[in-house]
A and B are shown apart, each in its own frame.
Chain A
């Protein structure tokens, strides 16, 4: 199906697709992948970089005094440097490699919050958090005796900032907020939230899992205290993630894992910790994963994150417009200033039934609560369908989705 609308001329998604082997497997013929908010696909360049590590320089980093170990160490640390530059971190050692966004946030919860938050204190989270930026704070509040408070969202899935005055006080020690909602697509005014939090002396942890793949991010400009994101949603392998933290905070923070590599000096009854970032990187790290993340950043940079943002934005605008034309289709979340994830319900067709139907048309969407049950409660739905886009998606794929949704309505209408 042709959309009749011209694709963004500065950007050719069809050409980009050629870098992604998943679309060229015979068994995946016709695959329309609209679940990049769950995990992105990976370009050949990333896969090759990981493979090259194992084939050519496989050795443990920071350990061996031989050539391939030195190359492995250099490649691992080069990936850290690329990552630091990519998000505008002031210092390379402020980049801690972890497994995922979830692990990064848990590092802050265990290493920082449990040390510095007490019974008189408050933790402020928003209603639109993914469980990964909610449950660690629920448990931290339970363990420390701190009070957990909520920044509410309105019916458009936007966080009105006029609540901040009444929610923030000297008691607030930490604010946890997502940069871009994984369900609603809302791009939150994190810079303003951070400024307000800093005014009362609170630290802020930002969940950047849905922002770093799609928008230019500058952690210094945002003035974020902690910033977490995952590699696998931005073309890198699974199992590599990043915790950025300001040097002063990382220095006062406790290690979360203890063991090899994270020590400076070891004695029988006590030990001292290594410098940043290695203080937080106990045990053998996911070196191939980090190198893959570096390759993903190179790939993104070769296109330009601004170009990717424009492409995502034009797809999202187009999809919102086309989806609106479908009767009984309800879109959750804001109509503008949003990331490329669109959650919706279609009449009384359950999201799961809809996803199965679309899968028969080779269209992969997500259905369910998207690990954000508070959002589901707020909008009074048990589950939604979600289509999310990335640099390899095209408008004609969106046309195919719209066509299939109209067909699905016909198919399921015989039920009513």
Chain B
């Protein structure tokens, strides 16, 4: 597999100039994730409006794949409902792990398809998933807390 398929232009763009970098104040969800394998770290701050992700930002350090994945993720999930986002997480995971999925789901990933090449580099899958697993953790903590309050 050629390196350029892993490091696509769009990934390099997001690595160079990450979108939504820096942490929101008054976030409803704040969550940290680490990749103990390589030391990459990420922190997400999410502002909710009802069940919609109104805004999301991140901070952290890591390789091109992990940073670009986080940047692309924040762009993609803004304005989506928690239910939609959870489905998206699962679709994204399937893609980078190289698992089968429906064409509709795949197409729905749009720019995130730039990270498809990761599936050919097994040691880099964790890099691509760091932001997404952190997001999932944050959403589930929030949902559990809500369920506890009810």
Interface string of A333-360 (1 = CB under 8 A from B): 0000000000000000011110011001
Q: Is the CB of B41 within 8 A of A352?
A: no
| Contact partners of B63 in chain A: CB under 8 A | 350-353
Q: Is the CB of B16 within 8 A of A415?
A: yes
Inter-chain CA distance A367–B38, complex, in Å, is: 7
Quick one: which of B64, B65, B127 has the most chain A CB within 10 A?
A: B64
Kindly count the residue-residue contacts between A and B in the assembled complex, taking CB atoms under 8 Å apart: 47
Inter-chain CA distance A299–B16, complex, in Å, is: 50
A373 within 8 Å of B (CB atoms): yes
Q: Is the CB of A352 within 8 A of B12?
A: no
Q: Is the CB of B38 within 8 A of A368?
A: yes
**Nearest B-chain residue to A360, judged by Cβ:** B3
A350-B64, A352-B63 are contacts. A383–B38 as well, Cβ < 8 Å? yes
| Contact partners of B127 in chain A: CB under 8 A | 352
Interface residues of B in 33-81 (CB under 8 A from A): 37-41, 61-65
| Contact partners of B41 in chain A: CB under 8 A | 382
Interface residues of A in 282-301 (CB under 8 A from B): none
Inter-chain CA distance A350–B61, complex, in Å, is: 10
Q: Is the CB of A369 within 8 A of B38?
A: yes
Interface residues of A in 354-378 (CB under 8 A from B): 356-357, 360, 367-369, 373, 376
Inter-chain CA distance A356–B118, complex, in Å, is: 11
| Contact partners of A368 in chain B: CB under 8 A | 37-39
Other-chain contact of A376, B16, B37, B39 (Cβ < 8 Å): B39
**Nearest A-chain residue to B62, judged by Cβ:** A350
Tell me, rounded to whole Å, the shortest Cβ–Cβ distance linking B79 to chain A.
29
Quick one: which of A356, A369, A414, A415 has the most chain B CB within 10 A?
A: A356
Inter-chain CA distance A367–B39, complex, in Å, is: 10
Q: Is the CB of B40 within 8 A of A382?
A: yes
Inter-chain CA distance A373–B123, complex, in Å, is: 20
Q: Is the CB of A353 within 8 A of B39?
A: no
Inter-chain CA distance A376–B7, complex, in Å, is: 26
Other-chain contact of A357, B3, B38, B62 (Cβ < 8 Å): B3
Q: Is the CB of A415 within 8 A of B39?
A: no
A66 within 8 Å of B (CB atoms): no
| Contact partners of A411 in chain B: CB under 8 A | 3
A416 within 8 Å of B (CB atoms): yes
Q: Is the CB of B64 within 8 A of A373?
A: no
Q: Is the CB of A382 within 8 A of B39?
A: yes
Interface string of B93-127 (1 = CB under 8 A from A): 00000000000000000000000000001011001
Q: Is the CB of A352 within 8 A of B3?
A: no
Binding site for B on A (CB under 8 A): 350-353, 356-357, 360, 367-369, 373, 376, 382-383, 411, 414-416
Binding site for A on B (CB under 8 A): 3, 6-7, 12, 15-16, 37-41, 61-65, 121, 123-124, 127
What are some 15 contacts across the A-B interface (CB < 8 A)?
A: A350-B63, A351-B63, A352-B63, A353-B64, A356-B121, A360-B3, A368-B37, A369-B38, A373-B39, A376-B39, A382-B40, A383-B38, A383-B39, A415-B15, A416-B16
